[in-house]
């Protein structure tokens, strides 16, 4: 049955109130009753909405997910929920939906409300053998106690309205023309971990609480007090030196929830249609004393099984790994967002590709990324450009082309997913869009095989975003055409490999030729014969080496330059979003494992461990988000929950612990630990498509020992420094050296 068939006879309904671009409106409750003259065991409910809804049957939620039906590119796609219900007994039943603004009607990024639609709408059909109940003009609508709701601004709930018999009207039939309707088969956002808040500061009637963990989510509170008194909850990631909330980095996001008490004994409340990025929460009572009986932080993110873990003998590195995990938890909510706190929260393509390999190890992200790659294709323009975020909501007046290292997510992420899970459909499903994208680059962005060529592209992308070498800007100093051409070469190389896998030999040849032309062009334009990149930043060297764009003769000079740059006043990392994911691997591959460990274990600014030594529980957007001498970075862009620099997780897993796929999906597992630094032991484990794989190594008085597990159906290769690789069958084994 097609989706329109599943919803046949149902009509879109709406309320006759809407709010304005700058003022929210009460979330409407749409409701109906229906009567069954016998028990029904085959009832199926199909529904969708413009907005996000909680649907209940006889007062019980029908789903346990939140923010349903989620976020898609509404110009192209709206998902439809379908659920088989438990037996309905004979008698009268009430079906209700309370619909919040969500991404369609509420604020998205820094834009006013109502970008997608002026008001929420609802469509549903409940059917069973011999009967149905569909949305139509017999449904009723009333304002709910949720006086205002917004994903970014917060929620205002007046519990006094729950028992007031507010004005009930007839729902209005809507002339809304939906985009294509698709059944929702993706993982949904759910309530995940909870954190009890502990009080850490009191200033007047404002009390500040700490969850101990920076999360994306919201508070569940239990309160007692006078009818009409309100508790105001404000959320922040950090506190100021005086203990008050640091709110400046939220920019336009109010991130404030208000609950007005009904006065009926103990009252428990959690907002329905909002979330915040926060670790600290302040509670302020107005209009009467309120007893705060409990405050619990509820983390929200898309359901993805946790599959991978890492541990080692260095407590700060373990905390770094924890922070990487929470960078993912806080940002994998419907789309891989840059951050969950400020008025942004967009599925930035650059950030996503940088972190994807680590993400695919930590959690089973197949469903999550299948959905988001669909968003990305939906947001790709017909003539080929891939945007810098998906769903593309058109914010910030950005170009259609996301630019180097951002738009390339369309090619890189399916490749990473194929490596992690061995599933060719990631390549097959996206290949046509990739071709359209590369054709666009060739046509509009490339001159003489140089991408982002200043004579062809007046923008060139985001550079090495937030690299510390940027003289006063966010782009870093690495030339944009160097970054562009490096990723263009990488795209062509991966396209050739994908075309081979998809059995497209002609295409493969085309991409191989392109790769070789671009590689040559790169060597001539950006590298001296001795291998010195122009504008030699750490990232220029890293890209040239990591994507193998240097000739054999150029390699030693390029490596020397990279090491010189890192050692200068350091050793210090100077890369931004683009160079950071590869820098340690490049050092390892080119004979500088010691320097890789020096960077990894460094605690002074700038380094991965610097935030950890200052209490971070997530990955910061900037190396200098906060600095002991300078305080907070500019609030215009200072998130404390941005996963990009967490891309180092991949190297920790692959080279510190020593676990990586040697063949897609870990059919052959490469156990290649490269012990170093101060580490006495390390290990990683992963539920691969074949089962559990693990490695744990430790230094002993006499040498080195390692425990390994190879799942059934897979094989392993144990590859230790200065030893011949050893083939391993499935099963567990222990080796002493």
Q: Which residues bind ligand BGC (CB under 6 A)?
A: 338-339, 344, 348, 350-351, 462, 465, 637, 642
Q: How far is the CB of 462 from ligand BGC (least distance, A)?
A: 4
Three-state SS for 491-503 is: HHHHHHHHHHHCC
Q: Which is nearer to ligand BGC, 250 or 281 (CB)?
A: 250
Distances (CA, A) of 107 to 23, 110, 138, 143, 636: 10, 7, 31, 20, 18
Q: How far is the CB of 459 from ligand BGC (least distance, A)?
A: 12
Q: How far apart are the first and last CA of the chain?
A: 62
Rounded to the nearest angstrom, the gap between the alpha carbon of residue 447 and the centroid of all alpha carbons in its chain is 34
- Does the active-site annotation cover 621? yes
- What are the counts of helices (DSSP H) followed by strands (DSSP E) for the chain? 16, 40
Please name which of 385, 398, 394, 433 lies closest in space to residue 413, comparing C-alpha atoms: 433
Q: How far is the CB of 644 from ligand BGC (least distance, A)?
A: 6
Q: Which is nearer to ligand BGC, 364 or 464 (CB)?
A: 464
User: In angstroms, rounded to a whole number, what is the distance separating the alpha carbons of residues 517 and 512?
Assistant: 9
Q: How far is the CB of 21 from ligand BGC (least distance, A)?
A: 22
Per-residue buried b or exposed e for 611-633, using 16+ beta carbons within 10 Å of the residue's own CB: bbeeebbbbbbbbbbbeeeeebb
Cross-strand partners of 707? 696, 734
Residue 172 exposed, middle or buried by CB count within 10 Å (0-12, 13-18, 19+):
middle
Q: Which is nearer to ligand BGC, 79 or 642 (CB)?
A: 642
Q: Which is nearer to ligand BGC, 540 or 639 (CB)?
A: 639
Q: Which is nearer to ligand BGC, 126 or 407 (CB)?
A: 407
- Does the active-site annotation cover 237? no
Residue tagged active-site, from 14, 284, 334, 344: 344
Q: How far is the CB of 352 from ligand BGC (least distance, A)?
A: 9
Rounded to the nearest angstrom, the gap between the alpha carbon of residue 260 and the centroid of all alpha carbons in its chain is 33
User: In angstroms, rounded to a whole number, what is the distance separating the alpha carbons of residues 716 and 134?
Assistant: 56
Phi, psi for residue 283 in degrees, rounded to 5 = -120, 125
Q: How far is the CB of 625 from ligand BGC (least distance, A)?
A: 12
Q: How far is the CB of 403 from ligand BGC (least distance, A)?
A: 9
Please name which of 315, 279, 282, 285 lies closest in space to residue 223, comparing C-alpha atoms: 285
E-assigned strand segments in 529-680: 626-627, 631-632, 660-661, 668-671
Q: Which is nearer to ligand BGC, 223 or 648 (CB)?
A: 648
Q: Which is nearer to ligand BGC, 184 or 642 (CB)?
A: 642
- What is the DSSP pairing of strand 715-718 with strand 668-671? parallel
Q: Which is nearer to ligand BGC, 393 or 710 (CB)?
A: 393
Q: How far is the CB of 488 from ligand BGC (least distance, A)?
A: 19
CB atoms within 10 A of CB 532: 17
Which position has the token pair 């404390």?
Answer: 640
Q: How big is the chain, counted in residues?
A: 737
User: In angstroms, rounded to a whole number, what is the distance separating the alpha carbons of residues 122 and 45?
Assistant: 13
Distances (CA, A) of 669 to 308, 663, 724: 14, 7, 16
Q: Which is nearer to ligand BGC, 348 or 608 (CB)?
A: 348
The three-state secondary structure class of 453 is: coil
Q: How far is the CB of 651 from ligand BGC (least distance, A)?
A: 21
Q: Which is nearer to ligand BGC, 341 or 419 (CB)?
A: 341
User: In angstroms, rounded to a whole number, what is the distance separating the alpha carbons of residues 89 and 107?
Assistant: 41
Handedness of CA 376, 379, 382, 386 (dihedral sign): negative
Residue 654 tokens read as 């692959």
- Cβ-contact 50, 104 below 8 angstroms: yes
Handedness of CA 674, 679, 681, 684 (dihedral sign): negative
Q: How far is the CB of 375 from ligand BGC (least distance, A)?
A: 16
Residue tagged active-site, from 155, 588, 621, 685: 621
Q: Which residues are catalytic?
A: 344, 621
């Amino acid at each position: 049955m097609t989706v329109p068939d599943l919803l046949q006879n149902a009509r879109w309904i709406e309320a006759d109130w809407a709010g304005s671009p700058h003022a929210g409106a009460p979330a409407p409750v749409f409701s109906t009753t229906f009567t069954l003259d016998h028990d029904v065991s085959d009832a199926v409910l199909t529904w969708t909405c413009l907005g996000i809804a909680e649907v209940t049957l006889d007062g019980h939620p029908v789903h346990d997910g939140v923010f349903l039906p989620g976020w898609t590119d509404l110009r192209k796609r709206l998902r439809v929920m379908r659920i088989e219900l438990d037996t309905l007994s004979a008698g009268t039943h009430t079906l209700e939906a309370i619909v919040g603004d969500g991404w369609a009607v509420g604020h998205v990024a820094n834009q006013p409300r109502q970008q997608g639609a002026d008001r929420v709408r609802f469509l549903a059909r409940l059917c069973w053998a011999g009967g149905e109940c569909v949305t139509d003009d017999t449904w009723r609508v009333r304002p709910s106690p949720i006086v205002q709701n917004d994903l970014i601004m917060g929620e205002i709930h007046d519990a006094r309205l729950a028992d007031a018999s507010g004005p009930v009207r007839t729902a209005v039939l809507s002339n809304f023309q939906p985009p294509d309707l698709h059944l929702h088969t993706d993982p949904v956002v759910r309530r995940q971990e909870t954190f009890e808040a502990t009080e850490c500061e009191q200033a007047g009637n404002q009390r500040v609480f700490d969850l101990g963990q920076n999360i994306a989510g919201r508070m569940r509170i239990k309160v007692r007090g006078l009818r009409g008194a309100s508790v105001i909850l404000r959320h922040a990631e950090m506190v100021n030196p005086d203990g008050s909330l640091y709110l400046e980095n939220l920019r336009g996001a109010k991130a404030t929830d208000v609950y007005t008490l009904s006065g009926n004994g103990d009252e428990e409340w959690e907002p329905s249609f909002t979330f915040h990025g926060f670790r600290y929460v302040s509670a302020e009572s107005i209009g009467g004393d309120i007893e705060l009986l409990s405050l619990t932080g509820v983390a929200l993110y898309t359901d993805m099984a946790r599959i991978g873990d890492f541990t080692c003998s260095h407590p700060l590195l373990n905390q770094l790994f924890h922070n990487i995990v929470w960078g993912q938890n806080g940002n994998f909510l419907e789309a891989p967002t840059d951050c969950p706190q400020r008025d942004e929260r967009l599925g930035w393509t650059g950030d996503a590709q940088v972190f994807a390999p680590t993400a695919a190890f930590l959690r089973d992200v197949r469903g999550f990324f299948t959905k988001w790659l669909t968003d990305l294709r939906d947001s790709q323009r017909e003539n080929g450009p891939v945007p810098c975020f998906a769903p593309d909501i058109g914010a910030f007046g950005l170009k259609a082309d996301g630019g180097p290292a951002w738009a390339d997510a369309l090619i890189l992420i399916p490749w990473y997913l194929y490596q992690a899970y061995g599933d060719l459909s990631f390549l097959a499903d996206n290949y046509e869009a990739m071709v359209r994208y590369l054709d666009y680059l060739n046509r509009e962005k490339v001159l003489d095989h140089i991408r982002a060529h200043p004579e062809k592209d007046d923008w060139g992308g985001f550079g090495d975003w937030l690299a510390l070498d940027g003289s006063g800007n966010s782009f870093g100093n690495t030339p944009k055409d160097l970054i562009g051409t490096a990723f263009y070469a990488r795209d062509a190389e991966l396209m050739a490999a994908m075309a081979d896998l998809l059995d497209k030999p002609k295409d493969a040849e085309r991409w191989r030729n392109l790769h070789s032309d671009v590689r040559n062009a790169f060597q001539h334009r950006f590298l001296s014969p001795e291998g010195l990149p122009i504008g030699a930043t750490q990232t220029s060297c890293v890209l040239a080496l990591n994507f193998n764009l240097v000739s054999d003769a150029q390699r030693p000079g390029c490596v020397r330059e990279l090491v010189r740059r890192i050692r200068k006043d350091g050793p210090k990392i100077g890369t931004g979003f683009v160079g950071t994911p590869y820098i340690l691997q490049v050092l390892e591959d080119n004979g500088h494992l010691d320097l890789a460990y020096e960077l990894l274990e460094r605690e002074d600014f700038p380094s991965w461990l610097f935030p950890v030594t200052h209490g971070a529980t997530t990955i910061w957007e900037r190396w200098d988000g906060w600095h002991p001498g300078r305080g907070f970075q500019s609030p215009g862009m200072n998130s404390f929950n941005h996963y990009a620099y967490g891309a180092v997780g991949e190297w920790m897993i692959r080279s510190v612990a020593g676990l990586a796929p040697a063949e897609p999906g870990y059919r052959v597992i490469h156990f290649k630990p490269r012990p170093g630094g101060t580490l006495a032991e390390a290990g990683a484990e992963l539920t691969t498509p074949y089962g559990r794989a693990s490695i744990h190594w430790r230094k002993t008085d006499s040498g080195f020992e390692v425990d390994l597990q190879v799942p059934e159906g897979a094989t392993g290769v144990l590859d230790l420094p200065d030893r011949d690789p050893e083939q391993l069958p499935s099963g567990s084994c222990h080796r002493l050296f």
